[in-house]
Amino acid sequence: MEYVIEMNHITKVFGNFKALDDVTLCVKKGEIHALLGENGAGKSTLMSVLFGLYQAEAGEIKINGKPVKINNPNDANNLSIGMVHQHFKLVHNFTVLESIVLGRETVRGGFLKMDEARKKVIELSERYKLKINPDAYISDITVGMQQRVEILKMLYCDNDILIFDEPTAVLTPQEIDELMKIMKNLVDEGKSIIFISHKLNEIKAVANRCTVLRKGKYIGTIDVDTATKETMSEMMVGRKVNFHLDKADLKTGDTVLEVKDLTVISKASHKNVVNDVSFQVKKGEIVCIAGIDGNGQSELVYGITGLIPIQRGQVVLNGKDITKESIRKKCLDGLAHIPEDRHKHGLVLDYTLQQNAVLQTYYKTRFQKNGFIRFGAIKEYAKKLIAQYDIRSGQGEESIVRDMSGGNQQKVIIARELDRNPDMVIAVQPTRGLDVGAAEYIHSQLIKQRDEGKAVLLVSLELDEVMEVSDRILVMYEGEIVADLAPKSVTAQELGLYMSGSKRNIKTK
């Protein structure tokens, strides 16, 4: 059997940490080969070795049966390997066209010739149904559009081996369906695709075969058609995963959070992105705000937590008006926030795990005396959180957070927020980009808060998560709440109609 890619017995070490331990991956020509594993299993590291970003300590790579040495991404490009990275590598003040031809420019007599490039890019975009505006700036286009630019960049370079690293983590359900069609079209054209994911539904929908990694080791390769989701998840996390959440019966108490007539204005358009929104969250319930991305959910949470100013309205926590309070004061009053962008609002990436663990509490007597930080107390506290929340990292509490996997970064935030024993937990996209094992763990933590009588406000784009976790669903559409639903009495299809604005059960002002 001739493989287009053979990565045999690859080992990659960072300091004392073995990121890849004797891993083998073989990809056939013209297949979509999924690479499945938990956060931190070594998937992106393996692809970074193939793309020349890292050099392996041991093992060999063969392309079309011939051994090759890939020292950098230029070598990979010359071997017809292209990669769409998890965090896109685009220049924000370049146009779409400039970003696609970057590094492959046509120059004559010292002058840049963009006419031929424009023609080729437009032809490619029409052929693969990747609609783009070549003159739009990267900073002005959506994340889904940016991904199309990355794909066109690979096609412009005439790459035959395409690596998609977690391509669906930041896309809406509609954009994900579109991407799946594009991937199938590319394979029909004779390309070979490696698809890194931990979303089992997507792998089942699009891949031919699947290689599973766990904690840097090769677990096995399976045919996707014959493997069940349960088999795949067990290979991935090393234990059975419960796809159905066990929740105690709903017992609500007093109102913890009350939002009254909240209005937030967009800085860019100067229009209302949140328009007269009112709702309550009681003790012992999980209220979920569902909706398609960009309908005001983010701005609603920013307004409640104090990250952006509100135009009008009131936020009341445990009967106390906290609308104009500082973020620290809101934390002290019992509000916890698990933000949607863990890098921008959740962590200081170049701080250690232990420093991030006390960002909101370092000034308390537990961690300081007479104005001096008690480093020993912080270290012991971080160790306790690591054990309690199963946070995995190379150097324990001394690990730099930037070097940790996404799932473990998220666990640091959850540990820090929940360990403060808040009355109200606001969790925004808490499982975005996380594998089934990490998602199951985070859901269980949120349900534990609810069962202990805390109030939880969950904001999610994942329909499965909305239906499984919530006790009550509020649907947001164009900045307004258009439906108040019980998850047991609504179908996913019906929920989709409310989310798209085709249906509403609440008269808005």
**Mean pLDDT over all residues of the chain?**
87
Query: CA of 231: how far to CAs of 87, 212, 240, 407, in Å?
Result: 29, 11, 8, 21
Q: Under 8 Å CB-to-CB from 215, ≥6 apart: which residues?
A: 38, 40, 41, 42
Stated as kind and residue range, the H or E segment containing 43 is helix 43-50
The answer to whether residues 172 and 260 belong to one domain is no
pLDDT at 292: 80
Helix (H, G, I), strand (E, B) or coil at 35: strand
The answer to whether residues 282 and 230 belong to one domain is no
Instruction: Select from 106, 122, 151 the last residue of a domain.
Output: 151
Q: Does any domain span residue 340?
A: no
Boundaries of domain holding 500: 242-334+422-509
Q: Does any domain span residue 86?
A: no
In the block, tokens 């960072």 appear at 14
pLDDT at 295: 87
Cα–Cα dist 397/384, whole Å: 10
Instruction: Select from 213, 237, 261 the last residue of a domain.
Output: 237
Q: Does any domain span residue 165?
A: yes
Q: Does any domain span residue 342?
A: no
CATH code: domain of residue 482 = 3.40.50.300
The answer to whether residues 138 and 265 belong to one domain is no
Q: Where are the beta strands (DSSP E) in 71-122?
A: 81-84, 107-108, 111-112
- The ranges of the chain with pLDDT < 50 are 508-509
The answer to whether residues 375 and 275 belong to one domain is no
Q: Does any domain span residue 429?
A: yes
The answer to whether residues 174 and 224 belong to one domain is yes
pLDDT at 119: 86
pLDDT at 509: 42
pLDDT at 508: 46
pLDDT at 241: 63
Q: Does any domain span residue 341?
A: no
Question: pLDDT digit string (tens) for 440-455?
Answer: 888 989 999 999 999 9
Instruction: Select from 420, 450, 478 the last residue of a domain.
Output: 420
Question: pLDDT digit string (tens) for 457-488?
Answer: 999 987 778 888 999 999 999 899 999 999 98
pLDDT at 383: 95
pLDDT at 317: 96
The token duo for 213 is 């990694």
Q: Does any domain span residue 345?
A: no
State the pTM of this model: 0.70
**248 — alpha (psi -120 to 50), left (phi > 0) or beta?**
beta
pLDDT at 468: 86
Q: Are 256 and 318 in contact (CB under 8 A)?
A: yes
pLDDT at 431: 85
pLDDT at 171: 65
One-letter-per-residue 3-state SS of 138-152: HHHCCHHHHHHHHHH
What is the number of structural domains in the chain? 4
The answer to whether residues 98 and 182 belong to one domain is no
Cα–Cα dist 394/404, whole Å: 8
Nearest to 341 by CA among 406, 422, 420: 406
**20 — alpha (psi -120 to 50), left (phi > 0) or beta?**
beta
pLDDT at 350: 94
